[in-house]
Structure 1
Amino acid sequence: MLGAIALLLVCQLAGEAVHRFVGVPVPGSVIGMALLLVWLALVRRERPSLEKVTAWLTAHLAIMFVPAAVGLMNEGPVLARHGVAIIVATAISTLLTLVVTALVFQWAIKRMDHDDREHDA
């Protein structure tokens, strides 16, 4: 289990290093996730231990938000000044994300149905 945690942290660190040293305009965490995906595609024996660790992390996900909530509480004056704008921007971006996700999902379903009909014919 310790090895799986180390793998997650190494991928995260490697992604951050690539982001900072190469200057790729992609967040380091996304690069780290891609590195983890490549690792898992190459080394299949990691999956069972990684599943245990990720299941535990997911089960305790609420704990991960505590530092962000505390940091948010320290920004009282900024929130008082820009709170309404932040809430509106968050609501609009959430709505747009839902709409785009639904449209892409519908497109994918139609495409899969179309491909299935062509395959059956």
Structure 2
Amino acid sequence: MKKTFAFIVQLIFLLIICKLGYYLANLLHLPIPGNVIGMILLFGLLQTKVIKVKWIELTSGFLVKHLAFFFIPISISLMTMGWLFIEFGLPLALTLGVSLIFGFIVSAWTVQKLSHRGEVKQHDSAHHNI
């Protein structure tokens, strides 16, 4: 019972942050979706230690564990929009390709910067006993 209550409280807390992101996007007329602003807001609050990870750990772990289920509705919707891919397929593919490459570059750059600061542990498989 206590775990269920904690789950519900954490879920409400995450939903409030998400709705706050939508509110800020609407209020400030930002071209960024509200849910993305909510995630950035949550990230900032976690980084500044205003919110502790343990306060949202139970619910966020559950949501991440079941993340694949959240893609089912959009996948079904995309099946009914074949015309969209016929009309905008090339620009979509180009956008996705550029985004993929950009994501790889930013990820690699971030790992290199963090490894120089000593925040990423290096693993050397030659020193492990098998």
Report the TM-score range of the alignment, normalised by the length of the smaller protein: 0.7 to 0.9
* 3-state secondary structure, aligned to 1:42: coil
Residue 50 (structure 2) aligned to one of 42, 50, 57: 42
Distance 1:26 1:88 in 2: 21
Instruction: Report the counterpart of residue 124 of structure 2 in structure 1.
Output: none
Instruction: Report the counterpart of residue 119 of structure 1 in structure 2.
Output: none
Q: Amino acid of the residue matched to residue 12 of structure 1? A: C
TM-score scaled by length of structure 2: 0.68
Unaligned 5+ residue runs, structure 1?
Answer: 114-121
TM-score scaled by length of structure 1: 0.72
Distance 1:89 1:22, change over 3 A: closer
Residue 11 (structure 1) aligned to one of 17, 37, 41: 17
1:49 Cα offset (Å): 5.2
Distance 1:21 1:50, change over 3 A: same
Higher helix fraction (1 or 2)? 1
1:34 Cα offset (Å): 4.0
Instruction: Report the counterpart of residue 8 of structure 2 in structure 1.
Output: 2
Distance 1:95 1:56, change over 3 A: same
Distance 1:96 1:49, change over 3 A: closer
Distance 2:104 2:41 in 1: 28
Task: Provide the alpha-carbon RMSD of the alignment.
Answer: 2.5
Task: Figure out how many residues of one structure are paired with residues of the other and give that number.
Answer: 110
Residue 91 (structure 1) aligned to one of 97, 118, 124: 97
Unaligned 5+ residue runs, structure 2?
Answer: 1-6, 119-130
1:54 Cα offset (Å): 1.1
Instruction: Report the counterpart of residue 106 of structure 1 in structure 2.
Output: 112
Deviations 1:9-67 (A, max 9, x none): 111111111110122454322332344342783354xx435211111111111100011
Identity %: 25
* 3-state secondary structure, aligned to 1:41: coil
